[in-house]
Every structure is written in structure tokens, then in C-alpha cells.
């Protein structure tokens, strides 16, 4: 991969949403604000269509898509009371 291709590669973020019922939804995106708005508009994940978002709790830069996917899976495996702390760590 060339230096230019590396520079042009999208940067992925891990994010956490609190839903109206108090549950959390974790996801990954290159543009967190756009993706959150998709969830709010009912065009996001099936889970957030059934559990409307209340607020975006936070996000963090992860790097490439593979790293973001691994981080998302790790976050989803944690108990709810540890998810926000793990995201912000």
C-alpha cells in the first residue's frame, strides 16, 4: 500500500449510544455524527429502530476497520456497567 493510500484510508471510531429504554448500543463508523443521525432518523441498525436513541454517550478513535470491529466486539461482551468506562479509557 502506498503512503497516499494509507493517508486516504478512512479512520474508524467506536461509539456508544444510550437508548430510550436505558440499554446501550455499540457501533463503529467513519463519521460518528452522521451515523448517530441515521440512528435517530430510524435508518440505522435494527436494534436502534426498536430501541430509539436517547443520546450519544461517547466515541473514540480506533484506527482501521478491522481494529474497530475487534474493539466493538470486545465492548459488546462487557457488562453494561463497564461499557462506558471501557469506551472512554
Predicted local distance difference test score (pLDDT) of residue 88: 87
Q: What is the 3-state secondary structure (H, E, C) of the chain?
A: CCHHHHHHCCCEEEEEEEECCCCEEEEEECCHHHHHHHHHCCCCCHHHHHCCEEEEEEEEEEECHHHHHHHHHHHHHCCHHHHHHHHHC
Mean pLDDT of the chain: 93
Note the pTM of the prediction, 2 decimals. Answer: 0.89
The tens digit of pLDDT for each residue in 52-85 reads 999 999 999 999 999 999 999 999 999 999 999 9
3-88: CATH topology? GIY-YIG endonuclease (3.40.1440)
In the chain, domain spans: 3-88
Amino acid at each position: 500500500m502506498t503512503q497516499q493510500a494509507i493517508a486516504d484510508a478512512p479512520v474508524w471510531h467506536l461509539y456508544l449510544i444510550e437508548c430510550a429504554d436505558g440499554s446501550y448500543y455499540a457501533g463503529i463508523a467513519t463519521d460518528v455524527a452522521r451515523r448517530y443521525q441515521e440512528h435517530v432518523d430510524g435508518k440505522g441498525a435494527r436494534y436502534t429502530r426498536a430501541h430509539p436513541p436517547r443520546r450519544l454517550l461517547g466515541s473514540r478513535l480506533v484506527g482501521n476497520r478491522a481494529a474497530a470491529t475487534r474493539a466493538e466486539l470486545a465492548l459488546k461482551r462487557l457488562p453494561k456497567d463497564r461499557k462506558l468506562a471501557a469506551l472512554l479509557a
